[in-house]
Structure 1
Amino acid sequence: MASLNVYSILVFLFLTCGAVMATKENNQIIKENNCETKMGLPCVLEAFTSIFNTGSISNKCCGKLVVLGKVCHSALVKRTLENPPFKDLNPATIIAKSIQTWNNFLALIDLPSPSA
């Protein structure tokens, strides 16, 4: 339960304080594409945990992330990496994990539904 609170705080920082620290380019992409309002907090937490820590994401949130779009996904990840709590992370590793996560989401969405 404590880890959920930590992730809630980190996501809050990601969504609010990140705008101050992010590059103009990422902020512009996020603003123009209305990226921050396309997913609810529970799905943001799942995606965040799956990319920046070890965790999984539900099919429901996977679908929401794909609807969010790759441009938003990439800009939000890059902006998060610019925040002080994440400065020590290896950007190449996180971006690679982000791309892998994105590709996994697309694969899940493309799978045919099991017939009843």
Structure 2
Amino acid sequence: MASFNVYSVLVVLFVTCGAVMATKENDRIIMENNCETKMGLPCVLEVFMSIFEIGSISNKCCGELVVLGKVCHSTLVKRTLENPLFKDLRPATIIAKSIQTWNNCLALIDSPSPSA
């Protein structure tokens, strides 16, 4: 539980201060696509935990991730990897988890609902 709180604080700090750490290109993409305003904080945390730690994503948050869009999703992951707080992570592993998360959510949202 304590590690979740630590990561929650880190995510909040990163979301609010991350622009200072990011490259200009990622900042431009994020700003032009309004990426930081398209998801609620609870879903941001869920997605973050599923990619950078261990966790699953609810259907609701998968929906928000798909609405966020692949460009925003990929750019926000790249920007997170540029943050010195995450320098010990393996980028290839994180990017693979990011792609897997995106594909799983996309398949979930695109699949037909079971009928009653």
What TM-score, normalized to structure 2?
A: 0.95
Residues 2-32 of structure 1, C-alpha deviations (whole Å, 9 max, x = no match): 2331121121122022110111111100000
Counterpart of 1:68, as a letter, is: L
**Where does residue 15 of structure 1 map in the other structure?**
15
Between the two proteins, the alignment pairs up a number of residues equal to 116
Which runs of no fewer than 5 residues in structure 1 stay unpaired?
none
- Misfit runs of 4+, over 4 Å: none
Shift of 1:96: 1.0
Measure, in 2, the Cα distance between the counterparts of 1:3 and 1:44.
16
Which runs of no fewer than 5 residues in structure 2 stay unpaired?
none
Measure, in 2, the Cα distance between the counterparts of 1:14 and 1:79.
9
**Where does residue 67 of structure 1 map in the other structure?**
67
What TM-score, normalized to structure 1?
A: 0.95
**Where does residue 39 of structure 1 map in the other structure?**
39
Instruction: Give me the identity figure in percent.
Output: 85
* RMSD (CA atoms): 0.9
